[in-house]
Amino acid sequence: MALRRLFHIGPFIALFVTFTCYSVAVIDSYLWLAPPKYSIAGGYNLMVLTVWLALILHNYFWAVIIGPGFVPKGWRPDDKEAEKYLQFCHSCKGFKPPRAHHCRTCKRCVMKMDHHCPWINTCCGHLNHSNFVLFLFFAPVGCLHALIVCVMTILYQLLWTVDLYRRYPPTVNFSVNAFLANLIASGLAFGTILAVGMLFYQQARVIISNKTGIEQWIVDKAIDRAMTNNSGKFVYPYNLGTSKNIKQVINWKCTPVGDGFSWPVVEGCTNYSLSIEQLEQKREKMQRLVLFEVTECYSGWWLPCTKGIRTCCCIPFSDEPRIALKIGDKIQVSRGTKYWLYGNKVLTQEEEADGKRVRGWFPKQCAKRLGKVSELDDNADYTKKRK
Ligand SMILES: [Zn+2]
Ligand SMILES: [Zn+2]
């Protein structure tokens, strides 16, 4: 199961870039830049390059194989009383422990979910956070080393060609193909340093504040809510201080602290403080839901040409799904843009019992507004609120 995650375009690209940069840097060092037979430094250079590769691959494969830690399907807390503080996942038919979220790509609830990463083809979560972050650290470091080797090789060989600088006689001639390979490897290495370096910076902030990307979003809304409702300052429960926060993820064993279900919290908070806040936010969201009835079919295509040029030009800038609609469907809409709406399709009781959930964007012109869900007849099927 875990190894199957590697057979995907994301891991293929990540491993292709890693091996290309490493191979070109090693060939450069061996043939042109610092052949070990001429200098001890050349031998060290090759050894350090290989150490970077080993550290990158070790953390990469570990992050993929260990996975983020999935919540068992149908999970319930031991304390039945605690159920009222937790969100229920209809897909997994179980409660979500504090800090867990459902990933629609993995189709499972993930412990302390940060995000779904296409490069490891699984989520970054509780169990693989440490290896994932170390991979994000070593990949730019290794690529920087490879970039320096490639650029210096090109430079020395150009200087050799015009007879300006002679260091070691090249083992083989530096051909046009070698020059192109170095250009490609340099570009890949430079791109990786920028892109993965940026990701590392984001993850460093996540670890220092002990606040995942999803939790940052919840906290932003909690602060807004506290200001609007005059309910005092919102206290984020998991910020234990920089040093303790870092130790939760990064330690010599690369083993995360905790079981993924309960977490140390600051004084005055409980393990359920954030879950309770999420339930409150969800309740307020339900109050704002507007019911729409579908009046025009929609195929679920990302560029629905038949729905007008403006709808096509103003597609939502998001990877969230688009939902196919047929006339008569009811949608509970939570947000929208000028030409698109986002909401949950109202399902039959059998579909809901199967854990089915249809949520996504559709063109605004395909549906007409019926009114706020909270103001419509509570007994009607389509206003039925989710647990
Ligand atoms: Zn779930
Ligand atoms: Zn995922």
Q: What separation in Å is there between the alpha carbon of 340 and the centre of ligand 1? A: 27
Of 44-58, 120-134, 164-178, 211-225, the one with minimum mean pLDDT is 164-178
Q: Which domains does the chain have, with CATH numbers?
A: 3-68+127-209 (no CATH), 289-383 (2.30.30.40)
Q: pLDDT at position 378, please?
A: 53
Mean local confidence (pLDDT), 197-201: 96
**DSSP assignments along 250-307, one per residue:** --TT---SS-SS-----TT--TTHHHHHHHHHHHHHHHH-EEEEE-S-B---SS-GGG
Percentage of the chain beyond pLDDT 70 is 94
Mean local confidence (pLDDT), 17-29: 94
Q: pLDDT at position 172, please?
A: 75
Residue 269 bears catalytic tag: no
Q: pLDDT at position 319, please?
A: 82
Rounded CA separation 154/322 (Å)? 48
Q: What separation in Å is there between the alpha carbon of 159 and the centre of ligand 1? A: 60
pLDDT confidence tier of residue 341, bands split at 50, 70 and 90? very high
- The burial class, CB within 10 Å (0-12 / 13-18 / 19+), for 201 is exposed
Q: What separation in Å is there between the alpha carbon of 10 and the centre of ligand 2? A: 13
Residues having C-beta closer than 5 Å to ion ligand 1: 89, 91-92, 102, 109
Paired tokens of 61: 């494969």
Q: pLDDT at position 101, please?
A: 95
Q: What separation in Å is there between the alpha carbon of 348 and the centre of ligand 2? A: 27
Mean local confidence (pLDDT), 115-128: 94
pLDDT confidence tier of residue 1, bands split at 50, 70 and 90? low
Q: Is 94 helix (H, G, I), strand (E, B) or coil?
A: strand
Task: State yes or no: pLDDT of 115 exceeds 60.
Answer: yes
Task: State yes or no: pLDDT of 48 exceeds 90.
Answer: yes
Task: State yes or no: pLDDT of 299 exceeds 50.
Answer: yes
Q: pLDDT at position 162, please?
A: 64
Q: What separation in Å is there between the alpha carbon of 138 and the centre of ligand 1? A: 32
Task: State yes or no: pLDDT of 340 exceeds 90.
Answer: yes
Rounded CA separation 31/123 (Å)? 41
Q: pLDDT at position 168, please?
A: 66
Question: pLDDT (tens digit, 9 = 90+) per residue, 377-386?
Answer: 554 444 444 4
Helix extents (H) in the chain:
9-28, 40-66, 129-161, 176-209, 213-229, 242-249, 273-288, 309-313, 349-353
CB 85 within 8 A of CB 278: no
CA-closest candidate to residue 275, choices 114, 111, 87, 144? 87
Question: pLDDT (tens digit, 9 = 90+) per residue, 346-367?
Answer: 988 777 777 678 899 999 999 9
Task: State yes or no: pLDDT of 332 exceeds 80.
Answer: yes
Q: What separation in Å is there between the alpha carbon of 113 and the centre of ligand 2? A: 8
CA-closest candidate to residue 23, choices 178, 154, 194? 178
User: Which of 146-160, 163-177, 183-197, 294-308 holds the top average pLDDT?
Assistant: 183-197
Q: What separation in Å is there between the alpha carbon of 109 and the centre of ligand 1? A: 4
Q: What is the mean pLDDT of the chain?
A: 89
Q: pLDDT at position 379, please?
A: 46
Q: pLDDT at position 386, please?
A: 42
Choosing from 89, 117, 150, 366, the catalytic residue is 117
Task: State yes or no: pLDDT of 40 exceeds 90.
Answer: no
